[in-house]
Amino acid sequence: MIQRIQTLFLILAIVANVLLFLYPVLSITEFTEVKNEQLETDYYELSAAGIADPSPDSKPHLSNIVVYPLAILTSLIIILVAYSISRYKNRLHQIKLNKVSVLLNVILIAAVFLNYPKLLTDFSIEMNLEMGAYFLLVSLVMLIVANNFIMKDEKLVRSMNRLR
């Protein structure tokens, strides 16, 4: 139901996750060692949509396999939250779906903040968090707040049933 406050928070969580496809999550700088000197060779950005390379001549050493975990988890979170919105009549099921979404979001945050692409390459790279990484945190907060409001609704309905 759209008029419930938790639906607004769930929609904001969806928007935050969709923005991961539009904004970079990590900026990656590759280095090459030449005669004991580290030289910057390439710079590109990683988002859920793929690897964006601002310079057209260079080709990143990271393959698109690095993008798949980010894209799959983000898409799964979007689908779960959208399905959760449609399950507004069954609050207990909605709470369970949101808990799974929170768990997936925490896994995604841990992967991004622990720089998971470093695990998938043997090149010397440096990573910096970009604006997209903070959308993950916004999404997590929105899911937790929505879950709290859903639990409040459930508690209110149960208390009304006791009065009957």
pLDDT in tens, 57-77: 666 666 677 788 888 999 999
CA distances from 102 to 8, 55, 87, 89, 98 (A): 16, 36, 17, 20, 6
Strand order across the beta sheet in which 50-52 lies: 50-52, 37-47, 26-34, 124-129
Residue 128: the pLDDT is 81
Q: Return the higher-pLDDT residue of 8 and 35.
A: 8
Neighbours of 69 (CB within 10 A): 17
pTM: 0.84
Closest CA to 24 of 104, 136, 140, 125: 136
Domain boundary assignment for the chain: 5-163
Name the percent of the chain lying above pLDDT 70: 79
Terminal Cα distance for the chain, rounded: 25
Residue 91: the pLDDT is 86
Closest CA to 29 of 121, 146, 103, 94: 121
Encoded tokens for 162 = 């006791």
- The CATH T-level fold of domain 5-163 is Butyryl-CoA Dehydrogenase, subunit A; domain 3 (1.20.140)
Q: Are 140 and 46 in contact (CB under 8 A)?
A: no
